[in-house]
Amino acid sequence: MVIFGITGDLARKMTFRALYRLERRKLLTCPILGVAADDISVAELMSRAREAITATEGSVEDDVFDRLAQRFSYLHGDVTDAGLYRQLAEKVGDAEQPLYYLEMPPALFGPIVEQLGKAGLAGNARVAVEKPFGDDLESARRLNDRLHRVLDEEQILRVDHFLGKEPVIELEYLRFANTALSEVWDRRSVSAIQITMAEDFGVEDRGSFYDAVGALRDVVQNHLLQVLALVAMEPPTSAGGNELRDKKVEVFRAIPPIDVAHYVRGQYDGYADVPGVAADSETETYTALRLQIDNWRWYGVPVFVRAGKGLPHKVTEVRLFLRRTPPLPFLPKPAQAAPNQIVLRIDPDPGLRLQISALGKDALHPVHLDTLFAEQLGELLLPYERLLHDALHGDRRLFAREDAVEETWRIVQPLLDDPPAVHRYERGSWGPDEANKLVRGYPGWQQPWLADS
Ligand code: BG6
């Protein structure tokens, strides 16, 4: 496994921890070569790795860390320089199926893959690339074309860490292994869907990256649309590498480009003061939108998606509203129960909630049936742990395929072409008031299912 960008932020926050946990589970079997520009020794790299693991995992077991450290070697140089790839070729030697993992700025994906190709290193390789994959439909197509000049689609693994989150993976099983859920999971029973991704922190030290991107590109086009595809897809007919991804892309194909009239953008107060952000920035840190899925299962069911930074809580959830039962004369006033809601909490503390109505002393009350997956199912794998493992084994199911990436850009493209004005919102609020107009006539935005509620 060759990791480009091993001295970077992502490696520090995610990769070392994931590798350490895989090592602990005895799931790592290959040597690891780190590549980056910094002229450091492998000992220095490993001391940074230990620090990173301690900071993220809390503690380090020496024997596990030593085993991991023994796998590592390090190569430094300029990734656009052919000389680096000659050295790489010597190190990689005749590895049967190397995995190149590019934790690099997207502008370097093309140049690195081309260099791998020229050096004869791409033939039997797999290449995993981090997000973002393009910044609109046109650039995603160009990037796909560029990579395809060297690699087959089967060799490319586009990382979207949301696809490695256990509750997101769980969607496929919850939906299709349970009649209690599958029977209500369509337009006959569901009246609306809400997806919320709220973060209680701001852009902090990522100003210059974020200001060029904004919430729509950062988390909606990729993470949240991928989640939606799993919420809405038909059951895969086999466990094959492309089957699940075929089903997801069918959902995307049924989603028309989003109408800009159904799109709200917000920016939290103080965002423009973040280092790296333009003083007159119009970038959104909050986005809310409505889309539709024009297929047999979902026609007429509005899907609302909102995501934002500087909101009151960190929580990501999917919420389905079921249709109301009819008003019945024997029910206490008001004689119509609130609609049932099914909530899948993705973060934090993943779980499933069913909200039903029950008669208390003298009126109908919403009550909750909750399950927390960790309590019932044991410790869950971290997203990067699973994705790195799958990448090493060539299991492509949890990676975004070319057509899905292009479809999702097509869906959001009108919003990129013609973005409406941003509305300011107070940090710690639920975003601009305009977002409430979006849901008028439908169930309003709900307070998400929080850890202690
Ligand atoms: C990243 C975004 O892809 O996902 C960040 O760039 C965001 O802005 C992060 O905070 C959220 O990931 P998670 O796993 O913490 O929900």
Flag whether 262 is marked binding.
Answer: no
Q: Is 83 domain-assigned?
A: yes
For residue 449, count other CB atoms closer than 10 A to its CB. Answer: 21
Q: Is 284 domain-assigned?
A: yes
In whole angstroms, what is the distance from residue 4 CA to residue 35 CA? Answer: 5
Greater confidence (435 vs 335) lies with: 435
Q: Domain of 172: which CATH number?
A: 3.30.360.10
243 falls in which pLDDT band (50, 70, 90)? very high
Domain co-membership, 178 together with 240: yes
* Ligand 1 centroid, distance to 202 Cα (angstroms): 11
* Ligand 1 centroid, distance to 232 Cα (angstroms): 22
How many structural domains are present in the chain?
A: 2
Flag whether 361 is marked binding.
Answer: no
pLDDT tens-digit readout, 88-145: 999 998 888 999 999 999 999 999 999 999 999 999 999 999 999 999 999 999 999 9
Domain boundary among 118, 136, 159: 159
Q: Is 396 domain-assigned?
A: no
Minimal CA–CA distance to 228: which of 219, 237, 240, 236? Answer: 219
Q: Domain of 82: which CATH number?
A: 3.40.50.720
Domain co-membership, 147 together with 178: no
pLDDT tens-digit readout, 305-360: 999 999 999 999 999 999 999 988 887 777 788 999 999 999 999 999 999 999 88
- Tell me the residue range of the domain where 11 lies: 2-159
Q: Is 430 domain-assigned?
A: yes
In whole angstroms, what is the distance from residue 269 CA to residue 266 CA? Answer: 10
Element (H, E) at 112: helix 109-118
User: Which runs of E-coded beta strand occur in 309-382?
Assistant: 315-322, 341-347, 351-359, 364-372
Domain co-membership, 199 together with 281: yes
Residue 165, amino acid: K
Q: Is 14 domain-assigned?
A: yes
Domain co-membership, 207 together with 292: yes
H helix runs in 238-382, sequence order: 243-253, 373-377
Q: Is 392 domain-assigned?
A: no
Domain boundary among 128, 159, 190: 159
- For residue 183, count CB atoms less than 10 angstroms from its CB and return exposed for 0-12, middle for 13-18, buried for 19 or more: exposed
Domain boundary among 159, 177, 196: 159
Domain co-membership, 182 together with 138: no
Domain co-membership, 155 together with 197: no
The reported pLDDT for the residue numbered 451 is: 83
In whole angstroms, what is the distance from residue 24 CA to residue 13 CA? Answer: 18
Domain co-membership, 192 together with 53: no
Residue 295, amino acid: N
In whole angstroms, what is the distance from residue 169 CA to residue 296 CA? Answer: 24
The reported pLDDT for the residue numbered 157 is: 98
Q: Is 7 domain-assigned?
A: yes
Query: Which of 161, 200, 217, 315 best tests ligand 1's pocket when mutated (most atoms within 8 Å of CB)?
Result: 161
Would you say 353 and 453 are in contact if contact means Cβ atoms under 8 Å apart?
A: no
Domain co-membership, 233 together with 114: no
Is 412 a residue whose pLDDT tops 80? yes
Domain co-membership, 150 together with 172: no
Domain co-membership, 131 together with 209: no
Query: Which of 159, 218, 220 best tests ligand 1's pocket when mutated (most atoms within 8 Å of CB)?
Result: 218
The reported pLDDT for the residue numbered 327 is: 86
Model pTM score? 0.96
Domain co-membership, 289 together with 428: yes
Domain co-membership, 150 together with 281: no
Q: Is 348 domain-assigned?
A: yes
* Ligand 1 centroid, distance to 219 Cα (angstroms): 7
The reported pLDDT for the residue numbered 331 is: 79
